[in-house]
Structure 1
Amino acid sequence: MNQLENITIRHELRPGDLGQVVELHGRIYADEHGFGLGFEAYVMDSLLEFYGQYDPQRDKVWIVEDQGKMVGFLLLMHRQDQQAQLRYFILEKPYRGQGLGKKLMQDWMDFYQEKGYKGAYLYTTLGLEPAAKIYEQFGFKKISQMKSKTFGVNILEILFRLENK
């Protein structure tokens, strides 16, 4: 069965969305990567930062829903010096590997270019190779990596950067 037939993507935040993004990340990263409550709290804090500085002219969210249930999320957050940050790219497992991630990345890139950003960056961790492959297909390059215990487990944090040519 095609998991994508009932998918909708909306771009406006509604009450309840931020909590659902935190829940999605907390649950998926605990199940798939063993992350604890520290990661969920990190997502919560940084989503509050995003909301506190949200500017619909410079920021955008992609809320992926299947018949009204959030199954994925992505956002572009403006930063200083005309930089953008890609954050919270997540899809429930049944929706992966069907081209939805690439579609979301293309939409993200289109908005990024439309708004005239000079560069972008994102942080990810080792173990998310399918996502890293998508980032690289869209021109992001791995810049650095460092060991961390930020989320209560040993991880390798990876910084990717996109520079305009």
Structure 2
Amino acid sequence: MDIPKYTIRHQLKPGDLSQIAALHGKIYGEEHGFPIGFEVYVMQSVVEFFEQFDTEKDRVWIVESDERMVGFLLLMHRPNNQAQLRYFILDKTFRGIGLGKKLMGEWMDFFQERQYQSAYLFTTKGLDPAVSLYERHGFRKVSEKMTENFGFPMLEVYYRLDLS
């Protein structure tokens, strides 16, 4: 199997925020049946992230191939020396080549470098490869609940990583 060429950058540039939402809308819509309300949620929360973005505390991983965004991940600072892992996504073509593992490793390195005490993330049932990756890095499931946040029923799962 040929590994597709890609680059990873850490600086946001014009057009990125809308591409993050579009990538999520497309992939989650096609692969998991999420309605457009999910893309709206991503748009709104990406704006929240941008408005409080701090280059000392936050980091983005933007994966590009042929000048197109094909993956994304971010670490967002939160109160009480916590970090939130958000928007971990890869286009199908870039899965299964070790890229997710690489991104998660870099996320953990930045998390430890900045001396965060804990981290959390929200995900949904059915994203088993991602959950396996989170668990290999010490995240543990704390709770799960049925929601209709995006206009359809889904099981939302909350994971935490505590260093204390």
TM-score (norm 1): 0.97
1:34 alignment partner in structure 2: 33
1:2 alignment partner in structure 2: 2
Distance 2:146 2:29 in 1: 19
Amino acid at match of 2:156: E
**Is residue 2:154 matched to residue 1:163?**
no
- Cα pair 1:34 1:153 within 8 Å, conserved: no
Question: Where do residues 1-150 of structure 1 align in structure 2 (5 Å cutoff)?
Answer: 1-4=1-4, 6-150=5-149
Distance 2:131 2:21 in 1: 21
SS at match of 2:18: helix
- Runs of 5+ consecutive residues of structure 1 not aligned to the other structure: none
SS at match of 2:84: strand
Distance 1:155 1:2 in 2: 35
What does the per-residue CA deviation read over 1:30-76, in whole Å, with 9 as the maximum and x for residues that have no partner?
10111111101100010000000000000000000112211000000
Distance 1:52 1:14 in 2: 14
Distance 1:104 1:137 in 2: 13
- Runs of 5+ consecutive residues of structure 2 not aligned to the other structure: none
Distance 1:102 1:138 in 2: 10
Distance 1:134 1:23 in 2: 24
Task: Count how many residue pairs are aligned between Structure 1 and Structure 2.
Answer: 164
TM-score (norm 2): 0.98
Shift of 1:82: 0.3
Amino acid at match of 2:116: Y
